[in-house]
Every structure is written in C-alpha cells, then in structure tokens.
Chain A
Amino acid sequence: MELLTLTAQFEWILGKSNYWASTVLLLIGLHAMISKNNLIKKLIGMSIFQTGIILFYVSAGAKHGAQIPIVHYGHDSHESHDKAAHAAEHAADAGQQVAEAAAPAANHAANHAADATHTLGETLYVNPLPHVLMLTAIVVGVATLGLALAMVQKVYAAYGSIEEDEVLDAIADSTADSTVDSTVDRTVKGTPEA
C-alpha cells in the first residue's frame, strides 16, 4: 500500500517534471535579462527564456508511447493490404467449392481489411501542432538574436563597453556634455540680442 502511493507520487512528479523544468529555465532566463550587467549575458538569458517556453509547448504535445509525427505509410499498409487480398482470394477459392459459405467468408475478409486500415489510422502519433509553432520560433529566434547582437556591437562602437552600468555612465556623461553645450549655445545666441 505504502509502496503503491510512493510510485503514484513518483509518477505524479514525473508527469510534472518538464513543466517545472520549463518554469525554472524561464525564471533563470528572465532573472538574467533583468539583473545581469553584461549585454551578451542578457541575450543568453533571453535565449534561455525562449527555450523554456519552447519546452513547455513541446511537452504539451508529447504522448506516452507515441510515434514521431511521420505517418508510417510504407510496409505495414502494403502488408495488410496483401494479407487482405490473400484472404479474399482464399475466400474466393473456397467460394468456388462451397458457394454458400463463400459470401460470408469474403465479407469477413473485407471487414478484416477494413479493420486493419482502421487500426493503422489509430496508431498514436505525437501532436504535430506544437512542433510546427516551435520550429519556426527557433529560426525566428536566431534571426532576432542576430539583430540583438548587431545592436550590442553598435553599443560597443558608440560607448566602448557592453556593461550596462558603464554604458549608462557614458550616456549620462554625454547628455551632461550636450546640456552644457546647449546652455553655451544659448548664452552665445543671447549676447548679440543683449
């Protein structure tokens, strides 16, 4: 009894593990985006945040004991068709000998064939929809990462640093300079009027 509840608990934990992991990754990424001082670290945080979300979606589409989402249309269907055809032939042979017995046997074979295709259609496949959404998200993610890195390079070219506090100091300095410049301009402009 005790053991059963333990395994049940364990299964419950396993059932949630991916969601917890995606939450943890999401939090790690978001925390890095907010608190890291270095711009490249912020971007790595952004990518981790993104994978956390992708993990959530892909986990939502997962199924136990399911096939990958590529329809298995090769051997099996042909085999079952062949089997059905064979069965039908046999039934037909039998039918030549015993006419009355033939019709139900052929029907049976046909039903079997139908059943075979039906079970093939019910092979469990993983839900393809989250995969589609996420694979395009990954490619768009690398494009946006590239754009963000370009901005980082631009920031470095302009302020000589990719540390947030140093960049902010540099911006503060430059704006202080420009306000001084503008006051100077105004006084220069002001003098002829006076």
Chain B
Amino acid sequence: MIWQLDLILLIFLVITALISLRVRDLLGASMVFGIYSFLICLLWAGMGAVDVAFTEAAVGAGVSTVILVATVYHTRRVTGGHKRASGMKVLSLLLMLVLGGVLLHASGDFPALGDPTSPANDHPVAQYYIEGSYQDTKVPNLVTSVLADYRGYDTLFETVVVFVAGIGILAVIGVPTARMRREEVCGDTAQFGEDSDLIILQTCRLVVPVLQLFALYVIAHGHHSPGGGFQGGVLFGASYILLALSGGLREALRRLSESMSFRLAACGIVIYAGFGLLCMALGSSFLDYAILDSILPGGVAMARSHSMLIVEAGVGFTVTTILFVIYANLATRGKLEGGL
C-alpha cells in the first residue's frame, strides 16, 4: 500500500462520484461512473485485492457502463431540473447527517488500516485460509481456493442469483412476439457488419478472438494467478457484447442465440450443483471435493484442485451467457432486433 496514491485515489473517487451524480447529461454521468469504477479498481489493486480489482475492471469499467449507456440510449438523455422543491431532499440530508455522524464516530473504534493484528485479520478462519489452504488444495491463489472450495455454497448461490437476474430481465422487458419474428429473420444470411464502419469492424474482428482466448486462459489459470470463473466469464461475455456492438446484434445472436444462452447458463449451474451432488452420492457432504479423489487423479489435494477448475468452468458458463443476455435485452428493449 502506498498511502500517497491511496489518498489521491480516494479524493478523486469522491469527486467523480459527485460529478456523475451532478451532471445533467445521463450519457456523461454513465461515462464518469465508468471512470469512477476504474479508479476504485486501481485502489483495490493498490490494497493487494488483485482478484477484486480484476473483476471491477471487467465489470464496473466495462459491462456496467455499456448497459447504462444502452438504457440511456433507449430512454431520455438529459435529465430535467427539479420542477418541485422536494422536501425529500432536506429530509435525506438530515438523515445523512445523522447517519454520517454515527458512522464517523464509530470509525474511531476501528483498528488502523493495514493492521495485521486487527480482529478481521487475526481471526482463526482467515488465518487458516492463509496457512492451510495451499497444503489442503495445492492452489496457490488463496482467493480461488476460498471461493470455490471452502465457501462453495456461497459461490453456488451467487451464481444462481446471476441466473435469476437473467430470467428476471426476460420477464420484465422480453417481448415474445418480436422474438418469434426474430427467429424468422435469423434464417436469412445477413452479411457480417454490413452497416458498420470498416475500421471498427476490422479492429473488433482482431480483438474478439484474442479476448475470448484470454477469457479462457483467465478461467483455466485462475488457480495460479488472479482470475477464475467470474472474471473469465465477464470477459467472455464482453467479447460477445463487443461483437454485437461492432458487427450488429444479429450477428452476435447468430453465434450465441438467446435460447442457447439460457441453456448454457442452466448448464453452468447444473455442472456446479451436480458436482456437489456427486460428492454426496459418494458418501460425503455437498461440495466436499476431498471425497472425489477416488475418481480424479493425483490424491486428495489435487482432487480438490481439479474440482475447483470444473466448478469455475460452470460459473464461467453462467456469467458469460447471462451478461450477454442482459446486454442483448437492454440494447433492444427486449425485442432482440435493431440494437445500439
């Protein structure tokens, strides 16, 4: 941690947060919010939270900005001034004063930042993850082993939440009749990016395969370096979003249709939960990979390591496809034709 950098980033964070909320132009606000995400990603990298920084870089600065812009595009770009003087604002400010006072007062009791002996860092569970997990699982990246092994339940249900969000979007803005029509439209052979700019098209044509390859690497190499199913999945989803932005949504949907997306997303959860059930079938607890050394090679520790890879792949399937579904629906108001 470099405290100078830390302070500068914190100040810029507050400034960009205020700007993104003050700006009247919603497109500008979305862009400034992207900058905010990037700054906080730097802050996390500085604090040693490399996996969190990676996720934030892909999600906050990338995908969430894109879906915000898509919504601004389909609604109204400029937000008007307040027509009525809202008593809510005064009330809210009062509440903030009280809440802020309480929280700042409480912060006096917090241990100093970066104190290795603080209760959160000194807790036996956290200590065990640092000291024992490499012996247990042979996975050097502690975040991966805690994510996919020790706290497997948590991760499984976070993945389910992502899946449910995808279904929710379909339920909220999906337009069934337009969807039927699109299936027919898909039959004709549209040229890739017929109405796109040549330079953008050719650049994306080069970038997309590299991005997908990198996403697979991030999933597969998550045991040894920052990365894993969530980060790789976001990157893979982003590659399809890039394809849709450059070559048209129709082209992207031709490669990964919406029904296929949902099938793969469900598949991801089935892989994850199925692996947990397999452990139960072999006579141990749900998601207790140690029992799998009878079918996976390399002893107990390696069985846990291999199981994590498979589980992370399942997470990757779900995150990839659901992010693409979110983009595809938001960019077309649920009609899946046209697009940005």
Question: What's the interface size class on B, roughly?
Answer: 35 or more
Which residues of chain B have C-beta atoms less than 8 A from A27's C-beta?
A: 96, 99-100, 103
CA distance A19 to B106 in the complex (A): 10
CA distance A180 to B169 in the complex (A): 34
- From B33, B141, B173, residue with most partner A Cβ within 10 Å: B173
Classify the secondary structure of A's interface with B: helix
Q: Per-residue 0/1 for B38-53: is the Cβ within 8 Å of any A Cβ (1 yes, 0 no)?
A: 0010011001111110
Is A106 on the interface with B (CB-CB < 8 A)? no
Q: Is the pair A41, B29 in contact by a Cβ cutoff of 8 Å?
A: yes
Is A69 on the interface with B (CB-CB < 8 A)? yes
Which residues of chain A have C-beta atoms less than 8 A from B26's C-beta?
A: 38, 40-41
Minimal beta-carbon separation of A72 from chain B (angstroms): 8
Using A16-B113, A60-B120, A128-B129 as known contacts, say yes or no to A140 and B158 having CB atoms under 8 A apart: yes
Is B178 on the interface with A (CB-CB < 8 A)? no
Using A48-B36, A136-B155 as known contacts, say yes or no to A64 and B114 having CB atoms under 8 A apart: yes
Residue of A nearest to B146 (CB): A132
Task: Tell me the residues in window 1-21 of chain B with beta carbons closer than 8 Å to chain A beta carbons.
Answer: 1, 3, 6-7, 10, 13-14, 17-18, 20-21
Interface of B toward A, CB cutoff 8 Å: 1, 3, 6-7, 10, 13-14, 17-18, 20-21, 26, 29-30, 33, 36-37, 40, 43-44, 47-52, 55-56, 59-60, 63-64, 67-68, 70-72, 74-76, 79-80, 82-84, 86, 88-89, 91-93, 95-96, 99-100, 103-104, 107-108, 110-116, 118, 120-121, 125-126, 129-131, 134, 140-143, 146-147, 151, 154-155, 158, 161-162, 165-166, 168-169, 172-173, 224-226, 230-231, 233-234, 319, 322-323, 326, 329-330, 333-334
